[in-house]
Structure 1
Amino acid sequence: MTAWFEGRLAGFDLETTGVDVETDRIVTGCIVQCGGKQPTQSATWLADPGVDIPEGAAAVHGITTERARAEGRPAAEVVEQMVAALAECVLAGLPVVAMNASFDLTIVDREARRYGVQPLVDIVGGDLRVVDPRVLDKQVSRRKGRRTLSDLCDHYQVQLGDAHSADADAIAACRVAWRLGTTVEQLGAMSLDDLHQAQIKWAESQGRSLAAYFRRTPGKQAWADGVRTEWPFIPAQRAGGDA
């Protein structure tokens, strides 16, 4: 039986207008299919999010409001295509590899609801399987310090390329996931189904631990209330409904 990391992987990454999953919008996105002894295929999108892109966000991913309006496709069109592409991957049995998956998948969910697109979860149901390098790394590595994608790439000796470019980040996430599968026996030996279920529990535990840390850290106590423990996405009905 082929190990989960030896088969085809669907890397997924977004760049957005900000970090609030309920109100922020998709600017760029990429889905890259790689591995499984097949050629790499990628699909990328640039959206006009319909709102101004804050300077801080543009400084991270390089897409200004002016460029998005001039070159981007209508947001509703992008979201519909993105959900369809993700659904195709999931229904083909590919795991979605996403760094901090609960952010990207929740943003897509809210955008779909915003534009009247059938949400991914309603299309694929229980078939969704996700591999989140951030959750995996936090579970198996007790080292101190930051755990951004750049940090994980450095730690696992993976080439990142153009950081904060959706296509570069998507392929890098797949490479980190592959490295984790090949070097950590506990992870590599698990079936994809078992790995997915384990990450649900691990992410919840990690979220509770982070909230506890905030509560006991002067100046950060209020941050604890914003920590969410749901994974791989925050259900809309538990997040105040559609934004």
Structure 2
Amino acid sequence: MEQPYFIPQPAEKFLELERPLVFFDLETTGTNVATDRIVELCAIKLHPDGRQEELYQLFNPTIPIPAEATAVHGFTNEMVAKEPTFSDKAGDLADFFCNCDLGGYNIKRFDVPMLMEEFHRQKKYPVAISEVKLVDVMAIFHNKEKRDLAGAVRFYCQRDHEGAHGAKADILATIEVLKYQLLRYDDLQPNTTFLHDFLSGGRQVDVSGKFIRNEAGDIVFNFGKHIGKRAESETDYLKWMFEGEFPVDTRMVAKRIYMNTVWKEQLRHWLAAQKVVENAALASALYATIKFGEDIFPFSTHKEGEKLTVTYLDEPPATYTFLHKDAQAILLQLLDEQLTAQQQTTEPAL
């Protein structure tokens, strides 16, 4: 595999990485995330220890490449007719992108949503927006200098951007621009968490920006008739969103919030039915059982795959099955609120 000529070797690392960071660029059949397809993908993975990996792939997009797209990136239908489809390579691609942060040029608006749509068609989800840090070099550049990639290369690297709109040339230039941005601006920190939060302030929830966090940390709508309202308060609107034609990451966030509201209501009823809300000792035992994964009488647990079932050893026994880790977190939050309230009511006034 050809070694990119400028990527820093371990002794010259310019980023402080918490986990691998994949810089990637796509060339596609068009700009409609929902209907267009990827034609070319180039990705370079930078590891925290300085190692680097490169992945390059042409795809048969399975739909015609319009002439206007060919005019931009140069690929014709004939050139990719015998290339594998995204479906053919989805497994290897998912392994490459899994558990990584992402970097690139304009990835928030285009490349990440496009890649997620392709994975979604194959029922694979290696990119979890709630966990991934996004380093969008274009966003930093536009915030600081207001230019396109070619302008960024001229401004920061003092050279012309040769090979523009070739996926590999663009992503190599993007990494080089980021290096010079970090050298130029003293207020930029060389780690993915800071760069992710630099423009969004850590508030962005989905790539499309339909959800954000308010100052209290609550997820709120960032568009439409419910803008500014807590998302969990409008379940019908959430259902409309995840059943609608929004980008896949937005639909996934909407459904996750919706399901969290369902689980919260279920757990409140279950706790009340078992009278756990009335007994601090029971609440403490249940909290410790779920939190630390060790059964404390009168509760026992059984794990099967991703599902966790807790049983209250009463007569008759009562069970609740957690279908997702979010449901466990919700239970812990409810119990913590209950125990804190009980403690405050029993503490003597000073």
TM-score (normalizing by structure 1)? 0.70
1:187 and 1:108, CA in 2 relative to 1: closer, same or farther beyond 3 A? same
Rg larger for: 2
Cα distance, 1:195 vs structure 2: 2.3
- The reply to whether residue 109 of structure 1 matches residue 116 of structure 2 is yes
Q: Which residue number corresponds to residue 214 of structure 1?
A: none
Matched AA of 1:54: P
Q: CA deviation at 1:129?
A: 1.7
In the TM superposition, 1:9-28 aligns within 5 A as: 9-28=21-40
Identify which of structures 1 and 2 has the higher relative contact order when contacts are C-alpha pairs closer than 8 Å and 6+ apart.
Answer: 1
1:192-235 Cα shifts (integer Å, max 9, x gaps): 3132123334997xx99xxxxxxxxxxxxxxxx9xxxxxxx872
Structure having the higher helix fraction is 1
Deviations along 1:122-167, one digit per CA (max 9) or x if unpaired, are 4x851x12211111112223x5xxx321121111126533211111
Counterpart in the other structure of 1:65: 77
Q: Is the Cα contact below 8 Å between 1:9 and 1:174 reproduced in 2? A: no
Structure 1 residues 203, 136: closer, same or farther in 2, change over 3 A? Answer: farther
> How far apart are the structure 2 equivalents of 1:54 and 1:234?
24
TM-fit CA distance, 1:80: 3.5
SS in 2 for 1:27: strand
**Deviation of residue 14 (structure 1)?**
0.4
Partner SS state of residue 25, structure 2: strand
Match of 2:200 in 1: 200
In 2, Cα distance between equivalents of 1:180 and 1:10: 18
How many residues are treated as equivalent by the alignment? 201
Give 5+ residue unaligned stretches, structure 1.
209-224, 226-232
> Residues 111 and 234 from structure 1, CA distance in 2 versus in 1: closer, same or farther, beyond 3 angstroms?
closer
What do residues 167-195 of structure 1 show as CA deviations (whole Å, max 9, x unaligned)?
1111111111111111111113x643132
Cα distance, 1:40 vs structure 2: 5.1
Give the CA deviation at 1:239. Answer: 10
| AA of the residue aligned to 2:141 | D
CA distance in 1, matches of 2:254, 2:152: 33
Given the alignment, which residue of 36, 45, 62 partners 1:33? 45
Give the match for residue 141 of structure 2. Answer: 137
Q: Which runs of structure 2 are paired with 1:91-240 in the superposition (5 Å)?
A: 95-102=101-108, 103-116=110-123, 118-122=124-128, 126=131, 128-141=132-145, 147-157=147-157, 160-188=161-189, 191-201=191-201, 235-237=249-251
Give the direction of change, closer, same or farther, for the CA distance of 1:238–1:96 in structure 2 (3 Å limit): closer
Paired residue for 1:222? Answer: none
Kindly tell me: are residues 238 and 10 of structure 1, through their superposed partners in 2, closer, same or farther at Cα, counting changes over 3 Å?
A: closer
CA 83–38 in structure 1, closer or farther in 2 if over 3 Å, else same: same
Matching residue of 1:81? 92
Point out where structure 2 has 5 or more consecutive residues left out of the alignment: 1-11, 210-223, 225-246, 256-350
- For residues 63 and 158 of structure 2, the distance between their equivalents in structure 1, rounded to whole angstroms, comes to 35
Q: Which moved more, 1:78-87 or 1:48-57?
A: 78-87
Structure 2 CA distance for partners of 1:183 and 1:162, relative to 1, 3 Å? same
User: Once the two structures are superposed, what CA deviation does each residue of 1:16-60 show, in whole Å capped at 9, x if it has no partner?
Assistant: 000111111000001113597856532101111100000111121
RMSD between aligned residues: 3.4
